[in-house]
Amino acid sequence: MLNEQRKRLEIQLRGRVQGVGCRPFVYHLATTHGLSGWVKNISSGVRMEIEGEDYQLSQFAKKLQMDFPSCGALSSVTEKSLSPLGNSEFRILDSEVAESVSNYIQPDQAICSLCLEELFAPENRRFHFPFISCSSCGPRFAIMESLPFDRELTSMRDFPKCSCCRAEYKDPNDRRFHAETISCKQCGPQVCVWDNKGNTIAAGGEVFPLTSNALRDGKIVAVKSDTGFHLMVDARNEKAVDELRRRKRRPTKPFAVIYPDIAVVETEFKLTDLEREILCSPKRPIVLINKGKCTISSSVAPNNANLGVMLPCSPLQHLLTREFGNALVATSGNISEESLCFDESLALERLKNIADIFLVHNRRTVRPLDDSVVRVVSNEEQVLRLGRGYAPYIQKSMGRKTSEVVLALGAQEKSSIAFATGDYLFLSQHIGELGFSSTNERFLRTVDDYEELFSIKPKKIVCDIHPDYTSSKLSLKMTAPSNQVQHHLAHINSVILEHGIAPPLLGVAWDGTGYGSDGSIWGGEFFSCQTKQISRICSFRKFGLPGGEVAVREPRRVAMSLLFEVYKEKCFDLHPSTPFNEIELSVLLKMLKNKYQTPETSSVGRLFDAVASLVGLVQKSSYEAEAAVQLESVIAEGVSEAYAFQLRGLQIDWSGVIKAVMADLASDVSVGVISAKFHNALSNLISNIVRDQSYSRVVLSGGCFQNKYLLERTIQNLRERDIDVYWNQQVPINDGGVSFGQLGLEVS
Ligand SMILES: [Zn+2]
Ligand SMILES: [Zn+2]
């Protein structure tokens, strides 16, 4: 007869519980408490049955939650009593096949400290092995073909375990017990170096010294990681960086830099505690930090106060950066804004005119991911690009449920997709700028991928109201019926959903371009959000964009347009930098006068362009928001003065600000002070409207709030007035978060 004190429990764990070493952890815990039973991965998480003495069981349950692996996260633990079976052993069972939605997926994890030690320990059998990993580190989402996270369902299935690895995998006392990515020099993936014709020029131990020497010689190297290719070059070699810019057709957009370790980073930059913590976290994003007086080449991030800095994520990156010993430019392996290359033969084809050599390996990337980009705002993390380590972003619906699966297709640049299922909201990784065939293809493949991975089929589709967005056009080819959501409403909803907040509130959506529901181009909008209704309550006075899209790339045109609105014909020779010759000017003025090919906009992004042009910083921009980035970078410290926007009824008039900028320029006020006064004016405007409309809650979203000075100052101003202020933190505040916000109207 069984002991009466004996009990058996079924416990189910949900959350980020697969691929984090959960089953080995449970095994250890159960066996040390003398419990019997089993544990296995199921599609919705982890299930176990545990049997033993009452006291031991409660100790087990307590420690299960308290000591759960730190790279995982429990969202729920449910228990059920079963009749004891009386068996004595504890086992890890094979996974159940995934059969339902709501799976949590484990993002890719940087190498852990124990594996890193082994990587550089000459006596270890994985010394210098570029694919060392264990139960709690290594690639996950990038190599996963389907759920659950089992070796046979990842690209590691190409590499059958050798007998040593098999023994470690089966040994409950080994830290690679049930590590799905386990491998070694005998059985694992291999690296080699190709020239740009695909001939192997180094393999094995030669790979890293050869690559490092090539980098020292100023060569451009395409480096394969598990999430896609990087193009790397010596970050302190001006000539090499310029050559990369020339070949990549990327004249000024900043590059990110990878450093061998945190100690080298600390010699170059003054980090805050949170910046250091994020840099070193297993997610290993690119962190935007203040450049200060660092020694890297000025052409890495020209005219920019910030620099994107990253630490090595994979053992391969550790081996390369440590061999090289200093900062390397590490930019996405693609051409301009197209999608990332991740397959080595395709990369060779597309990057052979950019890279001199290719460091490649034979582990397949299932799902390419860009590096995530984050920064610290008001001492909190803000994700600007969702990629490796952060993607997919998964959030519980928090009471805002849909009865059917909804797919949102996002915007045009910085495209992403999002899903609402019964219980969860998913936001995909950054896909790239739509319109290029490679990105369009990646976009459709990502839709299929998420549908398969989560076993969902959308019953409804939401897209932008812009008729020319590629995503809007693609929605017409999909079978489910589609709804359209205005761009800036989606921005506001992305914050409301992310923070789970409720109206009434004031929504501020400022960016470069979004199709307005009146057919004009919006970008400086204030919304009143009430329980049942969202309405636009005010917006910036409209002005012309002579040449439309061309004006978006040429701040000088926007500046002339504003001068024309303020000074009419007299504006002819007013632009202080005279960026046009006389013929160009008269054509431009004719366009403005006749409103010929001059669509109207209320965009705050374009106001930044105009001011950056007037003060002589940028006349033509080579990447999105370049003018705003440069204007922010020159802000003089400690300026509290501000220009003033006038609120006239439902319209915000900027003409006084333009006149004041012109007056300051005429009296030789410095560009830094003018920039500060302009930023301060925008921030004050928000506070004033909040005060006039007596809101106690404000939501900020849109690309303009990537401007750290503007965002932090606005947050501070509002908090001083006891206003609750919310902005996007885990969902990108730029167009990368639009798909997530498009779900807003569907799930409220
Ligand atoms: Zn590890
Ligand atoms: Zn092996």
| Residues less than 5 Å from ion ligand 2, measured at CB | 162, 165, 184, 186-187
Ligand nearest, relative to CA of residue 111 = 1
Q: What are phi and psi of 123, to 5 degrees?
A: -85, -10
The pLDDT of residue 76 is 81
306-310 and 256-258 beta bridge pairing = parallel
Q: Residue 62 burial (CB < 10 Å; 0-12/13-18/19+)?
A: exposed
- Judged by its nearest atom, the ligand closest to the C-alpha of residue 113 is 1
Q: Strands, DSSP E only, in 185-279? A: 191-195, 200-203, 221-224, 229-234, 256-258
Q: What is the CA(175)–ligand 1 centre distance, in A?
A: 8
Residue 195 and residue 351: Cα distance in Å, rounded? 12
CA 518/CA 516 separation, integer angstroms:
5
**What pLDDT score does 334 carry?**
81
Ligand nearest to the CA of 71: 1
Q: pLDDT for 541-584, tens place per residue? A: 999 999 999 999 999 999 999 999 999 989 988 999 999 999 99
- β strands within 162-213, DSSP E: 191-195, 200-203
What is the 121 CA–ligand 2 centroid distance (Å)? Answer: 17
User: Among residues 46, 205, 22, which one has the least CA distance to residue 129?
Assistant: 205
Q: Are 676 and 636 in contact (CB under 8 A)?
A: yes
Residue 369 CA to ligand 2 center (angstroms) comes to 27
Amino acid of residue 259: Y
Give the number of other CB atoms < 10 A from CB of residue 695. 20
The mean predicted confidence, pLDDT, of the chain is 92
Ligand showing the shortest atom-to-Cα distance for residue 189: 2
> CA dihedral in degrees (492, 256, 710, 556; nearest 10)?
-100
Which 8-state DSSP code applies to residue 376? E
DSSP classification of residue 141: G
| Neighbouring-strand partners of residue 600 | 544
Please state, in angstroms and rounded to a whole number, the distance separating the CA atoms of residues 328 and 240: 11
In the structure encoding, which two tokens stand for residue 659, read together? 């006149």
- CA atoms within 13 Å, Cβ hemisphere of 406: 27
- Shortest-distance ligand to the CA of residue 184: 2
Contact between 721 and 370 under an 8 Å Cβ cutoff? The reply is no
Closest-lying ligand to the alpha carbon of 160? 2
What is the set of domains in the chain, with CATH numbers?
6-92 (3.30.70.100), 191-373 (3.90.870.40), 392-485 (3.30.420.360), 538-727 (3.30.420.40)
Q: Tell how far the Cα of 40 is from the centroid of ligand 1, in angstroms.
A: 21
CA of 188 to the centre of ligand 2 (A): 6
Give the ligand with the smallest distance to the CA of 135. Answer: 1
Q: What is the pLDDT of residues 110-139, one digit of tens each?
A: 999 999 999 999 999 999 999 999 988 999
> 328: CA distance to ligand 1 center in Å?
24
122 CA distance to ligand 1 middle (Å): 17
Residues of the chain with pLDDT under 70: 1-4, 43, 96-104, 336-337, 398-401, 748
d(CA 474, CA 471): 5
Residue type, position 430, single letter = H
CA-wise closest residue to 460 among 439, 484, 441, 442: 484
Find the 163 Cα to ligand 2 centroid distance in Å. Answer: 7
DSSP run (H or E) holding 66:
helix 54-66
Please give the distance, rounded to the nearest whole angstrom, from the Cα atom of residue 166 to the centre of ligand 2.
Answer: 7
Q: Is the dihedral of CA 356, 359, 363, 365 positive or negative?
A: negative
Q: Which residues pair with 192 in a beta bridge?
A: 203, 360
pLDDT (tens digit, 9 = 90+) per residue, 231-243? 999 999 999 999 9
Quote the tokens at residue 545: 């964009």
Ligand 1 centroid, distance to 121 Cα (angstroms) = 14
* Ligand nearest to the CA of residue 133, numbered in listed order: 1
Q: Which helix (H) or strand (E) segment is 246 a member of?
A: helix 238-248
State how far the Cα of 349 lies from the Cα of 333, in Å rounded to an integer: 12
- Closest by CA position to 367, among listed 238, 527, 492, 225: 225
Nearest ligand atom owner, CA of 117: 1
Tokens of residue 606, six digits: 């374009």
Query: Which ligand lies nearest the alpha carbon of 186?
Result: 2
Ligand with minimal distance to 169 CA: 2
pLDDT digits (tens, 9 = 90+) for 628-680: 999 999 999 999 999 999 999 889 999 999 999 999 999 999 999 999 999 99
Tell me how far the alpha carbon of residue 127 lies from the centroid of ligand 2, in angstroms.
13
ipTM tops the 0.95 cut = yes
Q: How far is the CA of 138 from the centre of ligand 1 (A)?
A: 7
pLDDT of residue 401: 67
Tell me, in angstroms, the distance from the centre of ligand 2 to residue 134's CA: 12
